[in-house]
Amino acid sequence: MVASLYGVKQAKKAIWIFLEQEGGKLEGVSLELLDKGRQMADNANWSLVGLLIGKDVSEIADEAFSYGADVVVLADDPLLDVFTVDAYTQVTYDAIMEHKPSVFLLGATPNGRDLAGRLAVRVRTGLNADCTNLNLDKKRGILVSEVTGFGGGIAALIEMQNHRPQMATVRPGVFPPGEPDKKRKGKVIKLPIKLEADTIKTKVVERVVGEGVDLTQVPALVVGGRGIEGDFGLMRELAGLIGGDVGATRPPVDDGYIERERQIGQTGVVCRPKVSINCGVSGAFHFVVGVQESDIVISINTDQEAPIFDFTDYCIVGDVFEIIPALTAALSSVKELAHG
């Protein structure tokens, strides 16, 4: 059997989190992983370590400590200013081989996936991607990753017995964010950087990033599916009235009607709003994963047999284009009264 570069015996009882940062702030998914990692580390009496890579990013370490990290391993270098898969994989590999953590978790973001895919091969270990839950079996020291989405709502529990680090990626929103404790302190370990500019083959020619949309924390979510035929105007109007935002299932995203970062579900974002309103959504399980943490689920579909109704509190068999305008009219009249 293929062996990883270090094994169970050499591995340290530590959970490592890849801390993804942009503009001096940690990504939401990194905070979520820190909180989940903290719980697992406490339960097993292991340590929680954040791997922070970038240029002039040392101040972010405090944020990582406040969310639960005991230690931050810091790789700070001008060559690490923007993410390139070559440089980040090399640095991460050096850090991993020096400290030999048993578990290494990354957010399933574009950069997190790029890094995870290369690193797992470089150290010859397994990688569980897009996990929907994680548990550390403290007796065996084994990470048990839950992966769903084989159709029909099947969840597989996946583990690796002999390979270290045990790697997994998790989509944004799968775990709730924790509460920061500003008084928490930790230790920074600086990683010696052995990079040279000419070994980085990737050239970032252009990079424009906006604020981005974070649907993981919205209080109300209005989701459009295939059934709304790309007409998101009504959805936006309703979302505006209830202080929420708009999401979509995969088909409208694939058809270019709405941005990919608004895709809800297994390969998109997992949300935990107070209310989600699904409009013209059939209810494929990989979508349901993205709204099942809602306190209340409302669904509108013309097909009484649509699977989405199995996952819904208030089911409406009807035409989205009749129900939603009636609802926005009803809500608008309330608003006018309130403003008197």
Q: Which of residues 151-190 bind other proteins (CB under 8 A)?
A: 151-163, 169
Residue closer to other proteins, measured from CB, 197 or 209: 209
Contacts of 42-48 with C-beta under 8 Å, sequence gap 24+, read 43/136, 43/138, 44/13, 44/136, 44/138, 44/141, 45/13, 45/138, 46/13, 46/14, 46/15, 46/102, 46/136, 47/13, 47/14, 47/15, 47/71, 48/14, 48/15, 48/17
Q: Quote the CA–CA distance of 321 and 31 in Å, as a whole number.
A: 39
Closest among 77, 82, 111 to 94, alpha carbons compared: 77
Q: Is 211 in the site for other proteins (CB under 8 A)?
A: yes
Give the contacts of 231 (CB within 8 A, at least 6 positions apart). Answer: 224, 321
Residue closer to other proteins, measured from CB, 66 or 148: 148
Please list, residue by residue across 2-22, b when 16 or more beta carbons sit within 10 angstroms of its beta carbon and e when fewer do.
Answer: eebbbebeebbebbbbbbbbe
Closest among 25, 41, 44 to 33, alpha carbons compared: 41
Q: Quote the CA–CA distance of 251 and 231 in Å, as a whole number.
A: 13
**Binding other proteins by CB under 8 A: which of 92, 266, 282, 301?**
266
User: With CB under 8 A as the contact rule, which of the stretches 7-15, 38-46, 49-57, 203-211 interacts with other proteins?
Assistant: 203-211
**Binding other proteins by CB under 8 A: which of 144, 188, 193, 195?**
144
Beta carbons of 306 and 326 less than 8 angstroms apart: no
Map residues 85-114 to x or -, x wherever contact with other proteins holds by CB under 8 A.
xx--x--------------------x--xx
C-beta neighbour count of 101 within 10 angstroms: 25
Residues in 56-75 at the binding interface with other proteins, rule: CB under 8 A: none
Place of tokens 């990504």: 27
Q: Is 336 in the site for other proteins (CB under 8 A)?
A: no
Site residue total, other proteins (CB under 8 A) = 102
Residue closer to other proteins, measured from CB, 14 or 289: 289
Residues in 4-33 at the binding interface with other proteins, rule: CB under 8 A: 4, 22
**Binding other proteins by CB under 8 A: which of 288, 290, 301, 306?**
288
Q: Is 338 in the site for other proteins (CB under 8 A)?
A: no
Q: Is 203 in the site for other proteins (CB under 8 A)?
A: yes
Residue 43 CB, nearest distance to other proteins (Å)?
19
Q: Is 134 in the site for other proteins (CB under 8 A)?
A: no
Residue closer to other proteins, measured from CB, 42 or 86: 86
**Binding other proteins by CB under 8 A: which of 150, 187, 233, 302?**
150
**Binding other proteins by CB under 8 A: which of 63, 77, 130, 245?**
130
Q: Quote the CA–CA distance of 67 and 38 in Å, as a whole number.
A: 8
Residue 336 CB, nearest distance to other proteins (Å)?
13
Give the contacts of 278 (CB within 8 A, at least 6 positions apart). Answer: 223, 225, 291, 297, 298, 299, 300, 301, 308, 312
Residue closer to other proteins, measured from CB, 189 or 334: 334
Residue 281 CB, nearest distance to other proteins (Å)?
14
User: With CB under 8 A as the contact rule, which of the stretches 10-18, 179-187, 227-235, 255-263 interacts with other proteins?
Assistant: 255-263
